[in-house]
Amino acid sequence: MQFTLKARDLDSAIRRKVEEISGENVYACYQCGKCSAGCPSAYAMDVIPSQIMRFLQVGLEEDLLGSNTPWICASCEICSVRCPRGIEVARIMEALRHASLRKRLDRIAIQGIPAPAIKETPPIALVSAFRKMTS
Amino acid sequence: MKYGYYPGCTLKKNAASFEKSALHVMKAAGIEFREMKVWNCCGTSFGLTKDMLIHQIAPVRNILRARQEGFDAIVTLCSICYNTLKRADSFISSDSMVKRRITGFLDEYGPYEGGFPVFHLLEVLEDRIGLGAVSKLAIRPLSGLRAAAYYGCMLVRPAELGFDSMERPGRLRRFLKALGAEPVDFPLSTECCGAYHAVGEPATAAEFSRKIIDDARLRGAEIIVTGCPLCHHNLDRGQAEIIRAWPGFNPMPVMYFTQAAALAFGEPAAGLGFESNFAPPQVLLDRLAGAAAGREAPR
Ligand code: SF4
Ligand code: SF4
C-alpha cells in the first residue's frame, strides 16, 4: 500500500497562529524530550511539552486547544533555557494561552475568587494569574 | 552610584517584612539609595508574546522615570520586578523597530537608547559593597545555621539576563556564608515554587513547593532563604495547603535574605515581621538568643 504524506496536509491554523504570537519555529524541534524532562508541571499535564511541539508540527488542533497543558504551565522557563534547539517553549505555551484568551475564553473568573483569598494573596500572584489566565 | 529603589506592589503589601528588613540592610551597608517618587506596576510578568508590545510599556515607563529622577541605576528586591524590568529593557534594545514604537509611545520622557542598569539587591551587596564588608557588618553571625539558598526562576532565567549561572547559581549561597551561616546546596534551588498557580490552582502550587521543601530538608536544611516575595508566599503560606494534602508534613521556616542579614547585623527579631510567617524561624531565633546568653554569661 502506498501512502503519501505532504507537509501541507499537516499544516494547521493553530501552527501558524502559535508561530506568529510566539515568534518561534515549531519545526526546529527534534523531539529530544528535554523540555518535558525538566518541566515541573509535566506530572499534571495531559500533553507534555515535547508532545505539544509534535502536535503543532502535525497540526492536531483540537488536541492542542483542548489540552490543560498551557494552563498548568507555570511559565518557569526551564524548558526555554534547556532546549538544545533554542526554542523558547515557554513562549509556545503563552501563545497557546493567547490563542484561547484572544477569543475571550478565560481560564479563571476574577469574580469567583473569594475576598479573603484576594487579601491573602500577593499582588504579584494575582496580577500574573490574571495576565496568564484572563483576556 | 545613586540607586533608585523600585519596590513594586507586593513589597508594599504582603511582603512588608521584606521591604523593612531590606531598607535596614541597605542603610547599614551604606548603599546610596532613595525610593523612586513615582512608580507603577512593573508589568508582571514579562510578556512572552512577540506581537503585544503594550506589555512592555509599564516596565519601560518605570525605567524612564528612574532616569528622569536622576538615578544611575534601579535596585529591586522582588525577583519578578527585576526580571520584568531588565528583560523589557533588553527586548526593546535589541530591536530598533520595537524601540522606536515604545519610546515613541512614551515620548514625554524623551529619546532612550536602552541599557539603563537594573540590579537585584543581592548583586549590589556582592558586587558593589563586597561580601567582606557584609561579613564585618555581621556582628551576630548566623553560626551553624543550615540554610538552603533558594533562587526560584526569575533571578536566573533566561541565562543571558539572570544574575548568575542558570543551573548552579551561587550568589545567595555566598551571601549566607558571609553572614556566618552554613549554606546547604540542593538540586531544586532553581525549580519553580508554583508561581501564580497560588491563585487558580493552589493544590498544584502546593505540590511544587512541597517538593522543594522536602528536597531542602533531605539535604539537611533547617531553614529556606529566598529573595522573591512570590516564592516566599508559596513556600511559607503554601504550607497550609501542603498539610491539607500531606497531613504528616513538618513545617519548614522560610525567610528573606534581608531578614537573615538584618538579624546578623544585630537588628532585634521583633521588628522584622516574622509574626506574619506560617512557619516562624524559631530555630534561628533560639540559636541567636542562646549565643547572646552565652556571651553575657559570667565566666
Ligand atoms: S527540548 Fe526543544 S528540541 Fe527537545 S523536545 Fe523540547 S522543544 Fe523539542
Ligand atoms: S515554562 Fe511551563 S512548560 Fe516550560 S518547563 Fe516551565 S512549567 Fe513546563
B80/A124 CB distance under 8 A: yes
SS3 state at B183: strand
Domains, chain B, with CATH or none:
3-121 (1.20.1050.140), 131-296 (3.40.50.11810)
A37 touches chain B (CB under 8 A): no
SS3 state at B212: helix
Task: Please name the residue whose Cα sits nearest to atom 3 of ligand 1.
Answer: A29
User: Per-residue pLDDT tens for B252-285?
Assistant: 999 999 999 999 999 999 989 999 899 999 888 8
Cα distance between residue A4 and residue B65, in whole Å? 60
Q: For residue B59, give the nearest of B34, B91, B100, B96 by alpha carbon.
A: B91
User: Per-residue pLDDT tens for B39-95?
Assistant: 999 998 898 999 899 999 999 999 999 999 999 999 999 999 999 999 999 999 999
| Total Cβ atoms within 10 A of residue B52 | 13
ipTM of the complex: 0.92
Cα distance between residue A100 and residue B43, in whole Å? 21
Domain spans of chain A?
A: 7-103, 108-135
Is A92 near ligand 2, meaning CB less than 6 Å away? no
| Total Cβ atoms within 10 A of residue A135 | 13
B98 CA distance to ligand 1 middle (Å): 28
User: Per-residue pLDDT tens for B179-211?
Assistant: 999 999 899 999 999 999 999 889 999 999 999
- The pTM score is 0.94
Measured from the alpha carbon of residue A78, the closest ligand is 2
A88/B48 CB distance under 8 A: yes
Once rounded to an integer, what is the mean pLDDT over residues B152-177? 95
Per-residue model confidence (pLDDT) at position B288: 82
Q: Which of the 8 DSSP states describes residue B222? A: S
Residues counted in chain A = 135
Given CATH 1.10.1060.10, say whether it is the number of domain A7-103: yes
A92 CA distance to ligand 1 middle (Å): 11
A108 CA distance to ligand 2 middle (Å): 19
Is A75 near ligand 2, meaning CB less than 6 Å away? yes
Once rounded to an integer, what is the mean pLDDT over residues B199-227? 95
Query: Where residue B297 falls among pLDDT bands split at 50, 70, 90?
Result: low
**Nearest chain B Cα to A93, which residue?**
B48
Q: How far is B292 from chain A (nearest CA, A)?
A: 35
Report mean pLDDT in 10-residue bins for chain A, 135 residues: 84 96 97 97 97 96 96 96 97 97 92 88 92 92
Q: In what order do the strands lie in the sheet with B182-184?
A: B182-184, B146-150, B223-226, B254-256
